[in-house]
Amino acid sequence: MTEDLPGIVRLRDRREALTLRTILTAARHLFAERGYARTPVRLIAQEAGVAPQTLYAHFGSKAGVLAGLVDLLDDESGLPDLMAASGEATDPEELLGLMATASRQVRERCGDIVAILESGAAVDPDIRATRAEGERRNRLGVEMIIDRVRATGHPVADRAADIAVALLTLGVHDSLVRDAGWSYDAYESWLRHTLITALLPGTPPEGDGA
């Protein structure tokens, strides 16, 4: 029985995880190249080297594959590791800095996924629902970090989560990085500084003397 052979079970799990990632990577490429509406399931399966039935077994539908891209975004941008780090951090500025790093890594590593969701949300209900799920997760992550800042005893601005979500929007990133030509280092540094000064009342701007 496989229950008595944990090595075989782990190998099966690894193979399943590899299949999932292969399908999602293929979909990510095709959605970016052809658009979500013009990418049939059979083409995703062909690109991934699996049977269409395998795709349906794992994701249920093309919309399920699209939803899986949010999980891929979380993983490739390192959000689980950053959330784990926030659980260990006790300094309010460090916690807000992790939020800035998360925004930078999402945009830098997974900008194509973000673009798929942003460009298609207005015209496709599947994409709109998936983007809404991504926004919900983003809001939850922001609120978790704000709660941890409060737990340190440092005063926090009213409506801190609303302010942080606004600063983390794609429009702010695009205005600075895409339109104004900022580097990702400059964007992350500015975002960290702005989050600290906006959310932590009484904190002097970085570089000011005591």
CA distances from 55 to 46, 63, 66, 119, 157 (A): 10, 11, 12, 24, 46
CA distances 145 to 4, 9, 85, 93, 171, Å, are 42, 36, 11, 11, 22
Residue type, 75: D
Residue written as token pair 């079970």: 9
User: Do 201 and 157 contact (CB within 8 A), yes or no?
Assistant: yes
What does the pLDDT look like over 64-100, one tens digit per residue?
999 999 999 999 999 999 999 998 999 999 999 999 9
Calculate the CA dihedral of residues 184, 177, 106, 170 and round it to 10 degrees.
150
At residue 95, what is the residue type? Answer: L
pLDDT at residue 122 in the model: 85
Whether residue 74 contacts residue 110, with contact meaning beta carbons closer than 8 Å, is answered with no
Of the candidates 10, 29, 33, the residue with the CA atom closest to the CA atom of residue 21: 29
More confident residue, 7 or 199: 199
Confidence of residue 210 (pLDDT cuts 50, 70, 90): very low
Kindly indicate the confidence band of residue 181, based on its pLDDT and cuts at 50, 70 and 90: very high
